[in-house]
């Protein structure tokens, strides 16, 4: 009851007043989470408190725009001590000097640092390395992959790949989507073969990357985009054609009327592209028998499929007066005990190999037959783009990508935007 009361108070509290409660000794922990995810984080806080009774942690819930909220806090001199760091957002904070370079702390504890790296997935750890610094430690992986309805696959005679290194081809994936699409006598779709529960432009980019081309080079602090690469464009076009040509996926107009989540949860879609954030909601439905599989690989990609890093981390504010206490909490939450709690929750995917392969993680996903999609996912992850200029780059990309997904232009037209994006990357902020 105490945890529930704490959670309700946390979520009901005025957010911008969250850092001004008079408890000047507590370490403030800023994060964004759904209610059930907040409960998992509170478990970590409670367990930390048992082991460190001299360090108090005060959670601060994020609003809908965490980046702006963090900047507002820090500009007002009330930056939280520990901040949740997002793959696509943290570089701007690092560039502005908001985040502490954790190497200053890791170098003091070489044995700990060595053990952490040995237990970490390199793609996730490296995601938060920017400009020669380490600005966060990863705390959870999501990535994106495919959920599929076992019953609908069986009815269509489809066998899903079980591992990232056994991926299906674009052609096999499109055939599966066509075989599991059902239309009524009037020609209207009654069951979609594929729906997208993520961000369509990012999903299309994953198809591009799975056809052998990086989205940005290098992915961390990129100096150019590769959207003009014919391989990347062909992958994006394959994604767009699922709706535009194959009619096995909802088009832009269809997506306005019904959510991908509702279609898949109600058995009106055979496959859904999304991340682990959907798992707990699907797992709670007795009427939905599902499993997971990997993204498809194009003729120029592979041999294994890849996915987005989709990782969040924990950072420490450079101006924190409680740096030492904050460091103890970050080590705990991203270390074996905190990651074991994450693994057991079923709400997140841990970022340490020991936690990923623990009995607790397997028990939290006992309904999943293709567990390797989760456990091997981080090794097959690639960052989308780590750059302080991401906000401007994303706005430009989204406009052009939306034209492709609407059928107003072909994916080859993305090349016309590449030079403008490269200029933004060089400007950085």
> In whole numbers, what is the pLDDT of the chain averaged over residues?
91
Between 73 and 142, residue with greater pLDDT: 142
Q: End of a domain among 375, 397, 418?
A: 375
Q: What is the mean pLDDT of residues 194-215?
A: 97
Asked whether the predicted pLDDT for residue 29 surpasses 70, the reply is yes
Residue 360 in domain: yes
Residues 195/263, Cβ–Cβ less than 8 Å: yes
What mean pLDDT do residues 86-104 have?
A: 94
For residues 129 and 220, what is the distance between their CA atoms, to the nearest angstrom? 8
188: in domain: yes
At 332-357, the pLDDT tens digits run 999 999 999 999 999 899 999 999 99
In a domain, 254, yes or no: yes
* 238 and 355 part of one domain: no
Instruction: Specify the pLDDT at position 25.
Output: 87
289 and 345 share one domain: no
Among 38-42, 138-142, 264-268, the least confident range: 38-42
Q: Residues 119-178: pLDDT tens digits?
A: 999 999 999 999 999 999 999 998 999 999 999 999 999 999 999 999 999 999 999 999
pLDDT at 18: 40
7 shares its domain with 53: yes
Q: Return the closest-CA partner of residue 82 out of 36, 39, 136, 40.
A: 136
| Cβ atoms of 62 and 38 closer than 8 Å | no
Q: Is the pLDDT of residue 14 over 50?
A: no
In order of 250, 264, 348, the CA distances from 261 in angstroms are 13, 5, 18
Lowest-confidence pick of 2-6, 40-44, 185-189, 266-270: 2-6
Are 211 and 232 in contact by the 8 Å Cβ rule? The answer is: yes
Same domain for 98 and 193, yes or no, is no
Instruction: Compare 244 and 70 and report the one with higher pLDDT.
Output: 244
Do residues 102 and 77 share a domain? Answer: yes
Tell me what percent of the residues of the chain surpass a pLDDT of 90: 82
Task: Examine residue 380 and state whether it is found in any structural domain, yes or no.
Answer: no
Domain assignment of residue 153, yes or no: yes
Mean pLDDT, rounded, for 96-119: 96
Question: What is the domain-level CATH number for residue 126?
Answer: 3.40.190.10
pLDDT at 12: 39
Query: Quick check: is 269 in a domain?
Result: yes
396 and 337 within one domain? no
pLDDT on residue 35: 84
pLDDT of residue 70: 83
Query: In this structure, are residues 377 and 141 in contact, taking their beta carbons and an 8 Å threshold?
Result: yes
pLDDT at 36: 83
- Residue 191 pLDDT > 70: yes
Between residues 409 and 2, the one the model is more confident about: 409
Q: Are 174 and 238 within one domain?
A: yes
Structure confidence at residue 5 as a pLDDT band (50, 70, 90): very low
Q: What is the pLDDT of residue 24?
A: 72
Q: What is the pLDDT of residue 39?
A: 87
* Secondary structure string (H, E, C) spanning 74-113: HHCCCCCCEEEEECCCHHHHHHCCCECCCHHHHCCCHHHH
Closest by Cα among 156, 160, 157 to 147: 160
Asked if the model's pLDDT at residue 261 lies above 80, the reply is: yes
Same domain, 422 and 293: yes
Residue 217 class from Cβ within 10 Å (0-12 exposed, 13-18 middle, 19+ buried)? middle
In the structure encoding, which two tokens stand for residue 276, read together?
């682990």
| Window from 19-28, 167-176, 261-270, 338-347 with minimum mean pLDDT | 19-28
Judgement on whether residues 160 and 210 belong to the same structural domain of the protein? yes
Please tell me the predicted confidence (pLDDT) of residue 288: 96
Both 18 and 129 in one domain: the answer is yes
Tell me how far apart the alpha carbons of residues 197 and 264 are, in angstroms, rounded to a whole number: 9
Q: Where residue 43 falls among pLDDT bands split at 50, 70, 90?
A: very high
8 pLDDT more than 70:
no
Q: Which helix (H) or strand (E) holds 4?
A: helix 2-12
Q: Are residues 360 and 262 in the same domain?
A: no
Domain match, 13 and 76 both: yes
| Residue range of the domain that includes 14 | 2-142+310-375
What does the pLDDT read at residue 33? Answer: 85
As a whole number, mean pLDDT of residues 57-81 equals: 85
- Asked, for residue 298, whether it belongs to a domain, the answer is yes
Residue 71 falls inside a structural domain: yes
What pLDDT is attached to residue 23?
58
Residue scoring higher pLDDT (22 or 43): 43
Rounding to the nearest 10 degrees, give the CA dihedral for residues 417, 418, 420, 423: 170
3-state secondary structure of 368: coil
Least confident window among 59-68, 200-209, 334-343: 59-68
CA-wise closest residue to 144 among 184, 92, 202: 202
Residue 429 pLDDT:
53
Distances (CA, A) of 19 to 13, 74, 148: 11, 11, 43
Per the structure, the count of domains in the chain is: 2
Q: What is the mean pLDDT of residues 357-384?
A: 96
Q: What is the pLDDT of residue 15?
A: 33
CA distances to 88, 329, 339 from 55, rounded to whole Å, are 30, 9, 20
């Amino acid at each position: 009851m105490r945890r529930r009361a704490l959670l309700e108070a946390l979520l009901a509290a005025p957010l911008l007043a969250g850092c001004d409660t008079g408890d000047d000794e507590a370490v403030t922990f800023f994060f964004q989470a759904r209610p059930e995810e907040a409960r998992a984080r509170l478990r970590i806080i409670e367990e930390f408190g048992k082991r460190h009774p001299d360090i108090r942690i005060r959670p601060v819930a994020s609003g809908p725009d965490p980046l702006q909220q963090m900047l507002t806090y820090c500009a007002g001199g009330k930056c939280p001590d520990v901040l949740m760091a997002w793959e696509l957002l943290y570089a701007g904070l690092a560039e502005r000097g908001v985040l502490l370079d954790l190497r200053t702390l890791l170098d003091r504890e070489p044995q700990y640092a060595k053990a952490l790296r040995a237990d970490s997935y390199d793609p996730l750890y490296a995601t938060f390395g920017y400009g020669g610094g380490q600005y966060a430690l990863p705390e959870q992986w999501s990535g994106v992959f495919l959920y599929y309805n076992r019953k609908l696959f069986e009815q269509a005679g489809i066998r899903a790949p079980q591992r990232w290194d056994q991926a299906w081809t674009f052609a096999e994936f499109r055939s599966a989507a066509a075989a599991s699409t059902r239309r009524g006598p009037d020609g209207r779709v009654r069951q979609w073969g594929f729906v997208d529960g993520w961000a369509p432009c990012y999903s299309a980019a994953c198809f591009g990357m799975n056809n052998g081309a990086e989205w940005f080079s290098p992915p961390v602090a990129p100096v150019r985009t590769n959207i003009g690469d014919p391989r990347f464009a062909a992958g994006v076009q394959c994604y767009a054609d699922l709706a535009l040509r194959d009619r096995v996926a909802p088009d832009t107009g269809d997506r306005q009327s019904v959510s991908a989540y509702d279609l898949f949860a109600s058995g009106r879609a055979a496959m859904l592209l999304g991340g682990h954030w959907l798992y707990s909601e699907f797992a709670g439905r007795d009427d939905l028998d599902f499993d997971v599989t990997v993204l498809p690989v194009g003729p120029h990609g592979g041999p294994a499929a890849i996915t987005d890093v989709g990782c969040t981390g924990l950072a420490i504010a450079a101006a924190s007066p409680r740096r030492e206490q904050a460091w103890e909490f970050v080590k705990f939450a991203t270390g074996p005990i905190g990651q074991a709690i994450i693994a057991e929750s079923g709400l997140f995917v841990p970022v340490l190999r020991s936690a990923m392969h623990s009995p607790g993680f397997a028990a939290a996903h006992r309904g999943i037959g293709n567990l390797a999609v989760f456990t091997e996912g981080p090794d097959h992850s690639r960052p989308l783009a780590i750059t302080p200029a991401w906000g401007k780059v994303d706005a430009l990309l989204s406009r052009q990508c939306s034209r492709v997904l609407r059928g107003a232009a072909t994916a080859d037209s993305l090349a016309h935007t590449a030079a403008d994006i490269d200029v933004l990357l060089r400007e950085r902020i």
